[in-house]
Copies of this chain bind each other. A is one copy, B any other.
Amino acid sequence: MKRSGSQASQKGPLECFIGTVRIDPLFQAEEPGRVAGAYVTFEPCSRSNWHTHPLGQTLIVTFGRGLHQRWGGPVEDIGPGDVVTVGPDERH
């Protein structure tokens, strides 16, 4: 069991984000599993740079309002309860 507050927050690395973003690790699967989860908290006006994930990413919005865009696609408004699935190597 990982108790609330027992895992240190990290700052989103400068090469990945613009503005202040906090990353709170939640879990990391043991081998051969590869899934990991974290809370990522964006201050107003912060954002990630365009990027991809080799195995894709699922975003579950828990709080606030935000914008999400896939490369070449429309900007989409997202809010609590929305789930965004991004495929392997899909730029977003």
Contact = CB atoms under 8 A, between A and B. Distances in A.
B62 A37 contact: no
Interface residues of A, number: 25
A60 B1 contact: no
Give the number of copies in the complex: 2
Contacts of A82: 1-4
Interface string A63-80: 000001000000010111
A6 to B, nearest CB: 9
B1 A83 contact: yes
B4 A80 contact: yes
Interface of A: 1-5, 26-27, 33, 35, 37, 55, 58, 60-62, 68, 76, 78-85
A85 to B, nearest CB: 6
